[in-house]
Amino acid sequence: MAIKICGTGSYLPKHRVTNDDLSEIMDTSDEWIQTRTGMKARHLVTEETTTMMSAEAAKLAMEQANVSAEDIDLIIAATISQDYIIPTLSCEVQRELGAKNAVAFDIGAACSGFLFALNTAYSYLKSGQYQTALILGAETLSKMMDWEDRSTCVLFGDGAGAAIVRNMPDEEGIGIESLVQGSDGAKGMVLACKGRPVKNPYVETEEERMSYVTMDGQEVYKFAVRTVPKAVKEAVEKAEVTLDDIDYFVLHQANIRIIESVAKHLHQPIEKFPTNLQECGNISAASVPILLDDINRKGLLKKGNRIVLAGFGAGLTWGAAVLTW
């Protein structure tokens, strides 16, 4: 059997916010943001929820894969910004879709989340326990941002991406060829957001300001440009192919400078690195599946194309996969 991505879908909030829009509410400019990040706009939630965006992305992926809600055995949602602590996002999506036969759970690996979800689904499917999985990367990051911190809030957007992964007959193609993952918790605080404080009858606490995302941009940059090329090479070698065999490198959309640096380290043309951060910003776990759906629906992916997916971010965590379309 071959384990393949058979359908993709994505959803972006309707409210589009340009750099010029942000310059009207904070001390920033289009030039400042574009020069440092490559970003021109992002989409922010006004009426949507993480669940709603996930369900809409899932429906598109299911339609493309010709899969019904009853066909889905497994739902894995990668997110750090679900609507509720409990129930989980995956269970909320299960309800919305009517996927009554599915087992559902969430994964919290931030910007690497979709890769971790893909790896987990692959393991379940390879074992034969399940046949059809829905994996999601979905975020409402705008609720976690300090909108007075221009160095951080301008980077992030909201949205959701989805993929259907299935066990298929071998004649349907190679599918997923290799997967790698990694974590470095010792350096995790360079990109962090505190959880709810302990408040019980036995702990004295002071009222504290709600926590928002904090980031040491330089440290995150150094981590990414060091770790991503290494992870990509490891995945490519594990698949027993070469970097030149790869048609597209679909990377987490954190910063155009990071993507350009990775291309340079891998000695690959920048044309192999599609981007949508110009329009979407950084959407954490949703970044990779939204970009994958984007190039898929634009017709860039052809049967037999070999691609690399790679995510990296908070934790610190990273993951990469090689697959044939």
Q: Which of 141, 157, 172 is the last residue of a domain?
A: 172
Reply yes or no on whether 91 is catalytic. no
Cα angle value 110/157/38 (rounded, 5°) = 100
Give the DSSP per-residue string, 12-31: --SEEEEHHHHHTTSS--HH
Stated pTM of the model: 0.96
Give, as one character, the DSSP assignment of residue 63. H
Are 317 and 300 within one domain? yes
Domain boundary among 114, 147, 172: 172
Residue ranges with strand state E in the chain = 2-11, 15-18, 41-44, 74-78, 103-107, 132-140, 158-168, 175-183, 191-192, 214-215, 248-251, 306-313, 317-324
**Within 13 Å, how many C-alpha atoms sit on residue 40's CB side?**
4
Are residues 226 and 124 part of one domain? no
Residues 186 and 318 in one domain: yes
Of 19, 167, 255, 282, the active-site residue reads 282
Domain extent, residue 187, equals 175-324
Count how many domains the chain has: 2
> Are 11 and 158 found together in one domain?
yes
Q: For residues 168 and 296, state if they share a domain.
A: no
Tell me, yes or no, if 252 is annotated catalytic: yes
| 6 and 118 housed in the same domain | yes
Distance CA 121, CA 103 (A): 11
Catalytic-role residue among 91, 252, 280, 296:
252
Catalytic residue among 91, 111, 153, 280: 111
Q: What angle do CA 317, 323, 325 make, to 5 degrees?
A: 135
Q: What's the rounded Cα separation, in Å, for the pair 194 and 216?
A: 15
Note if 101 is an active site residue: no
| pLDDT tens profile 247-306 | 999 999 999 999 999 999 999 999 999 999 999 999 999 999 999 999 999 999 999 999
Judged by DSSP in three states, 9 sits in strand
The domain that holds 274 is classified in CATH as 3.40.47.10
Confidence of residue 171 (pLDDT cuts 50, 70, 90): low
Query: Do 120 and 221 sit in the same domain of this protein?
Result: no
Q: What mean pLDDT, rounded, does the chain reach? A: 95
Amino acid 161: pLDDT: 98
Strands 248-251 and 306-313: parallel
